[in-house]
Amino acid sequence: MPLYEFHCQQCGTHFELLRSFGQADSPAQCPGCASSETRRELSRVNAFSGGKSLTDSGHSCASCSGGSCSTCGH
């Protein structure tokens, strides 16, 4: 099951939940204040292969995560 990050609109708590893909956008109860006014956040991911980060291509382009980008030419 994927791990999803949430943010509570009431108290500002950030929390994570393990949920199935089908439950990804279902309302989540805040563990801090029990409010159901929460929203799912975008999560950052870092992948490794052979000890090297696949998302760190050695340049500072914010629009791409791989080593080849048609937008910036890297």
- The per-residue pLDDT for range 9-62, each reduced to its tens digit, is 999 999 999 999 999 989 899 999 999 999 999 877 767 777 666 555 555 555
Domain-embedded: residue 17: yes
Whether residue 28 contacts residue 17, with contact meaning beta carbons closer than 8 Å, is answered with yes
CATH of the domain at 30: 2.20.28
Per-residue pLDDT at 6 exceeds 90: yes
Range of the domain at 31: 3-42
pLDDT at 1: 85
* Number of domains composing the chain: 1
- Of the pLDDT bands very low, low, confident and very high (cuts 50, 70, 90), residue 69 is low
* pTM value surpassing 0.95: no
Give me the pLDDT at residue 68, please: 56
